[in-house]
Amino acid sequence: MVIRWRNSFLDLDAEPEEGKPAEVAAALDALTDAEKKAQDAESEAVQVFEMAEKAEKNAGEVMAAAGPGADKETISNIEKTMEESERAKTQADKAKRKAARAQAKAEDAARQVEILGVKPPEEKDSPEESSAVTKVEENAVKKE
């Protein structure tokens, strides 16, 4: 958009930043995006892990209720709940790896910002809070 003002023309279209400011802006944008993705992935990992725990508990309850000498329908139900439990565990593992990759990308983006000589924005989490990936790992160790 161009406006004429006092015998001169003003170009109001936003020009992309150039040079170091453009690099810094791009790096900060990448950092913000990476941190958001990492938080989302960690939340998803916690939810999927909780679902896996519920599926495993359900499978254990079905097996305990069946007892010895179960009929074909009960055995089929046990097999189905065991398969669901295994699928849930697999999904939890995938979500954990996804969260770890997202966190690594966020850390890489933070290093890129620091390389450009800019201090990254302050972390929102307090130091005593652990990441969701760590929580998932702690829960997995407790189960073993």
Q: What is the pLDDT of residues 93-110, one digit of tens each?
A: 999 999 999 999 999 999
Q: Which amino acid is at 115?
A: I
How high is the pLDDT of residue 123?
Answer: 56
pLDDT higher than 60, residue 126? no
Give 130's DSSP letter. Answer: P
pLDDT at residue 132 greater than cutoff 90: no
pLDDT in tens, 18-61: 788 888 888 999 999 999 999 999 999 999 999 999 988 988 88
Average pLDDT (126-134) is 47
User: CA-to-CA distance for 66 and 69, rounded, in angstroms?
Assistant: 8
Q: Where are the domains of the chain?
A: 16-119+131-143
Amino acid (one-letter) located at 57 = K
Yes or no: say if 69 and 133 are a contact pair by the CB < 8 Å rule.
no
What number is the average pLDDT over the span 112-141? 62
Residue 117 to residue 73: CA distance in whole angstroms = 66
CB neighbour list of residue 100: distance below 8 Å, 6 or more residues apart: 133
| pTM exceeds 0.75 for this model | no
Contacts with 57 (C-beta within 8 Å, 6 or more apart), sequence order: none
Q: What is the pLDDT of residues 50-91, one digit of tens each?
A: 999 998 898 888 888 877 777 888 888 888 888 998 999 999
Task: Quote the CA–CA distance of 51 and 86 in Å, as a whole number.
Answer: 11
Distances (CA, A) of 10 to 15, 16, 18: 13, 16, 20
108-124 per-position pLDDT tens digit: 999 999 998 888 776 54
**Rounded-to-integer distance, Cα 144 and Cα 134, Å:** 16
